[in-house]
Amino acid sequence: MARYLWMPIHREGWAFIGLFAVASALLWLAWAPLGWTGAALTLWCAYFFRDPDRVTPARPGLVISPADGVVCMVGHAVPPSELEMGSEPRMRVSVFMSVFDVHVNRIPVDGKVGRVAYKPGKFLNASLDKASEDNERLGARVVMADGREVACVQIAGLVARRIRCDLVEGQEVRAGNRYGLIRFGSRVDVYLPDGVAPLVACGQRAIAGETVLADCAGSEPMRSGEVR
């Protein structure tokens, strides 16, 4: 029961929680109803920065979701040029994070970080397709043991104004490891190796560190989904 009532808070969140708490106290001194509003916002801030543990499927070849949220796009797209993955389209899975989702991002596959690149840009609605090109983003390309590559791109949104990525080039990583965070509301794109079909459909909810987006060792065709 304690696991569901209490979750760890990401270290980047404590400063914001403290600011919200101080503001709530000042509002309370000014007028009690405002203090209650501030208290509710402080609780929301703590909820936003929650960082729960996840159980990651450990079989080699699985591509795990790097983000919590809704799969908003599945289709071919050219990876960002700064990741140096060529100009040919690859299958891309996009996960949109609302302000109520966990925003701690996780590594999608085991391997070595081959490239980390930041690109400044706009702050359009992250659910739009053109956000991949126009918005501020930070991408990481991970090279798997068999030489194939998977990229995950953190994209800022309307409310998001801060992308954090702790990866460095040459770093060995494991699927499910925490590697960054975006605040507040955004999107993560995952570019799959050639010939690998996604195992999720648009509208499906993904859980960072747990949901399998694709299987590099499998032969199952691309899935479709329907609301039931």
What Cα–Cα distance (Å) separates residue 202 from each residue in 43, 80, 96, 130, 136? 31, 22, 11, 17, 23
Q: Give the whole-angstrom CA distance, residue 140 versus residue 137.
A: 10
Active site residue 186: yes
Q: Hey, how many other C-beta atoms are within 10 angstroms of the C-beta on 121?
A: 15
Q: Give the whole-angstrom CA distance, residue 1 versus residue 224.
A: 36
The residues, any chain, with a CB within 8 Å of residue 198's CB and separated by 6 or more, are: 74, 91, 93, 192, 213, 214, 222, 223
Q: Give the whole-angstrom CA distance, residue 69 versus residue 67.
A: 6
Which residue is catalytic, options 127, 186, 219, 224? Answer: 186
Residue 13 and residue 162 in contact, taking contact as beta carbons nearer than 8 Å: no
**Catalytic amino acids?**
186
